[in-house]
Amino acid sequence: EIVLTQSPDTLSLSPGERATLSCRASQSVSSIYLAWYQQKPGQAPRLLIYGASNRATGIPDRFSGSGSGTEFTLTISRLEPEDFAVYYCQQYDSSPWTFGQGTKVEIK
Amino acid sequence: EVQLLESGGGLVQPGGSLRLSCAASGFTFSSYAMSWVRQAPGKGLEWVSSISGSGGSTFYADSVKGRFTISRDNSKNTVYLLMNSLRDEDTAVYHCAKSSGYSGYECSDYWGQGTLVTVSS
């Protein structure tokens, strides 16, 4: 099983700041099989990024993904008030598909 | 507009069974794999099971293999999760999710709000 470890667990930032979230895999993941999701309290997760760097439909361009192998990054260039949420990475390269434990982006 | 509506959750005793349903609309159901992902209270996301568009291929997390069965009825645009031998640790909100492709080796591009399953005596 591929274990995904996200860091940090919590990121405290102000609106307008840049957020950098990390996702490290226990073994190499093909970049085409790495996704990022956003989840707000009481809501279903929303797909942000697929294939490590492709924005899903309707996702603003302040969200970007990068990385390969075992190191992946989600960057939010300028935080908007609606971006404060929990973010999960997921690999779907090797069954069982696995998620990271999540990074909470909170208002400082 | 893609819509996924889960039902069938509730309170069940340890060792009991429950069948979840997810009614889908807004897309060609048989062309896409479907998944179930759960979230225990206050915890993160855990993939549970996926099924290909035809239903010919199924995938399970080790934690549910042999106890849960995923199936689909393409004539009813519905995916199911039959859960047997339920344990306390199966308590969670169960989300139905549409895959971005047919095989099951894809991410989930649309999610339902989920249905709560509580396993307790």
Enumerate the residues of chain B whose CB falls inside 8 A of the CB of residue A33: 105
Spatial distance between the Cα atoms of A65 and B33, rounded to a whole number of angstroms: 24
Spatial distance between the Cα atoms of A84 and A39, rounded to a whole number of angstroms: 9
Contact B111 A99 (CB under 8 A): no
How would residue B104 be classed by pLDDT, with cut points 50, 70 and 90?
confident
Q: What is the pLDDT of residue A14?
A: 96
pLDDT in tens, B23-53: 999 999 999 999 999 999 999 999 999 999 9
Q: Does B105 have pLDDT greater than 90?
A: no
Structure tokens at B87: 């344990």
Q: Which residues of B touch A (CB under 8 A)?
A: 37, 44-47, 50, 59-62, 95, 100, 105-114
Q: What is the pLDDT of residue A31?
A: 83
Name the one residue in this structure whose structure tokens are 């179930």: B36
Contact assessment for residue A39 and residue B113, using Cβ atoms and an 8 Å cutoff: no
pLDDT in tens, B57-77: 999 999 999 999 999 999 999
Contact assessment for residue B120 and residue B66, using Cβ atoms and an 8 Å cutoff: no
As beta bridge partners, residue A103 has A87
Average pLDDT, chain B: 97
- SS3 (DSSP) at A41: coil
pLDDT in tens, A8-64: 999 999 999 999 999 999 999 998 899 999 999 999 999 999 999 999 999 999 999
